[in-house]
Structure 1
């Protein structure tokens, strides 16, 4: 994995102006963010000063995250954000200018919540900011995988289980049988196993299919899961005949595609731009080939997920050409589109409450990023839910 010690990102605004936000790693959080904002040339002084107005809501959010919010902050019971308030309204109420909302807060909200700021509920975003800019400076670090996520997480997990005598079956639809309010057995592919404890990590939209019928003990949980809306992600992959930038990723605020990642090239890694001339010479002798692979991501892509592949590719290519001057001379070799219609659950105000890991069925526990962890649909949320479910399962067995 590639890790930055603090929040550091290059942004290209809609006018094509390039700038870099880099928080000071030598200062304690959130002073590092403040120093980075004060030094960020993308903002005017009015924008930078407006960020100071976030000090109080972030302090409240940090106290709530630490559990103090349940007892009231300073005896007044203040909260960082109202449950019925959108992120956009919360930012406006706290004096954030249009420029800082477009360049900083909306991109962060989309990345963390996978929903536009004018749709997502503010409390979870406040919680994310509280963790990012809390006492641990590493919480705002950016981590980029250098291998596919299955190699980073799934395969090591499989090896861990199998090394300890367990087995892993993929592509097998399981059914959990509930009798008299407790787990009786689990079946898959014609096989059955008695199971004293089950941890379900399926997503919210697949939970009901895990059971034959609707166990009465789970009726409320299943109804809430079935009523949860989804928020999509669309990724457009472009292969170009030359490199167009030399950073791991760049933010494109205010556009349909909010981020572009420099994934890999025919030579295994993005070549330095200084070698572009040599690469261009090699192209003329060897014919067109892909020497750069870009992945453009649109989070909260409800308005784009139903567009045709051709429309999405054209939009992504046009936005790259407008943002990156070196892309104007590059030839598009090939392209593909990946749609995830149910990438995450919706965080809009009024959505059903997320369940806890514990259920009303004895020794049945729930895990996954959609469980109520106080975080949005992220790997961090899935990990926390998994740990809580595992702890509960262990206690249920008396260990």
Structure 2
């Protein structure tokens, strides 16, 4: 039996550990925090289990869905499946919902029925979809999403109400400096694939309960070990094996998966490999503001898009009615602010107040200006900044038995849960077990 250490218990590390355990390895999963999940986990606030960031998955997340099934998670029970949609409250934007028809008819029908878009906007969107398919969703030289949209003659209305929100939600990078090719990759696998691939999947359970907790159970059932609260402080080769140090205790393994954030991996691997590729990333924050109201407070739909405007101090980009996902969270709204550097500079209390006012105004419901309590959770390094032509490191390090895993490794996808899972699976398969 091969002994394999997985350093880092985020979604990439959990995915790698599950894959290795299923292949017969004896796995030890080291995580410095008290709980698994990394940047997608549950935290408890005022006795309420909240996620450290509200997430939406896509039907195109094939590896994530496979892995959930493998660890015993029923996606139909734990994920709310919604057709692709972009809905704004009270006529503040468009209302676009795709029907459950075969692709690409679902997009055409949704576009035909869409409200808040002029004929010019609809034709512009149809041209974009048709041309992108003809181009096989590829461009010769990467550029910014803004430049791509300009080339495709997308209207200002579409940019504001459709493309900008989708780009920020998918890449967590503003369109003016986001990679057009990576954006096209996401569109290819969602809008350009089968109808179910474009579905929006919203977790009905907390993120820890969705995957990390079940992954841990699966790993232990296959003879593995979960070591939370264990920070790896050293790593070096011992002949053909690897010595992993946790404080003053050293343990040898046949192989190691390093599944911690790039900057941390660079520090741990300094002197073992060339770490320049791990040190050049810039990062973008994501902030989620939770607002608790009376249990009777609810929205008409599970989530809405919001028009953000920094000049008007309107920071919210999407709002979710948590009570429609979990009855125990009735009256709880979650508002997401991606690329939120400017917003969090205001301070959490000021940001929460401005978001409450934004909700009251756009929904024309004064009671939303006065929540019982609020909680702002910011992940300051939530994702890398997904810029054009960005070079990302491979899973392979060039050293036998040492591989990298993380949403920052080379991939068609931006820093998403799917990218993390794919990287973890690929890293584990790069390890030879014999």
User: What TM-score bracket applies, with the shorter chain setting the length?
Assistant: 0.7 to 0.9
Normalised to the residue count of structure 1, the TM-score between the two structures is 0.81
* Structure 1 partner of 2:285: 232
Whether the aligned pair in 1 keeps the contact of 2:83 and 2:97 (CA below 8 Å) is: yes
SS at match of 1:109: helix
Distance 1:329 1:261, change over 3 A: closer
Distance 1:181 1:228, change over 3 A: farther
The alignment's C-alpha RMSD in Å is 2.3
Distance 1:57 1:18, change over 3 A: closer
CA–CA separation in structure 2 for the residues paired with 1:360 and 1:315 = 50
CA drift at 1:52: 2.1
Distance 1:194 1:21, change over 3 A: same
SS at match of 1:343: strand
* Structure 1 partner of 2:128: 54
Structure 2 unpaired stretches of 5+: 1-77, 310-314
CA drift at 1:333: 1.2
CA–CA separation in structure 2 for the residues paired with 1:384 and 1:60 = 27
* Structure 2 partner of 1:145: 203
* Structure 2 partner of 1:161: 219
Q: Give 2:100's match in structure 1, choosing from 2, 22, 25.
A: 25
Q: Give 1:214's match in structure 2, choosing from 266, 271, 281.
A: 271
* Structure 2 partner of 1:287: none
Q: Does 2:403 align with 1:397?
A: no
* Structure 2 partner of 1:383: 421
CA drift at 1:94: 0.5
Whether the aligned pair in 1 keeps the contact of 2:93 and 2:307 (CA below 8 Å) is: no
CA–CA separation in structure 2 for the residues paired with 1:96 and 1:298 = 24
Whether the aligned pair in 2 keeps the contact of 1:81 and 1:90 (CA below 8 Å) is: no
Alignment of 1:105-116 (within 5 A): 105-116=163-174
CA drift at 1:45: 0.3
Alignment of 1:1-399 (within 5 A): 1-4=78-81, 6-12=83-89, 16-17=91-92, 19-28=94-103, 30-59=104-133, 63=136, 79-80=138-139, 82-83=141-142, 85-179=143-237, 184-211=242-269, 213-215=270-272, 218-219=273-274, 222-241=275-294, 242-255=296-309, 256-264=315-323, 268-269=327-328, 292-328=331-367, 331-349=370-388, 351=390, 353-393=391-431, 396-398=432-434
Whether the aligned pair in 2 keeps the contact of 1:11 and 1:18 (CA below 8 Å) is: yes
CA drift at 1:18: 6.0
* CA-to-aligned-CA distance 1:102-134 (integer Å, 9 cap, x gap): 111111111100111112111100110001123
* CA-to-aligned-CA distance 1:141-167 (integer Å, 9 cap, x gap): 111111111111111111111111111
- Quick check: 334-343 or 168-177, which moved more? 168-177
Whether the aligned pair in 1 keeps the contact of 2:235 and 2:243 (CA below 8 Å) is: yes
CA drift at 1:239: 1.4
Structure 1 unpaired stretches of 5+: 65-78, 271-290
User: Which structure has the larger Rg over C-alpha atoms?
Assistant: 1
SS at match of 1:253: coil
CA–CA separation in structure 1 for the residues paired with 2:134 and 2:282 = 29
* Structure 2 partner of 1:275: none
Whether the aligned pair in 1 keeps the contact of 2:257 and 2:427 (CA below 8 Å) is: yes
CA drift at 1:392: 1.0
Distance 1:82 1:356, change over 3 A: same
CA drift at 1:367: 1.1
CA drift at 1:183: 5.0
CA drift at 1:330: 6.0
Distance 1:100 1:397, change over 3 A: same
CA–CA separation in structure 2 for the residues paired with 1:226 and 1:157 = 29
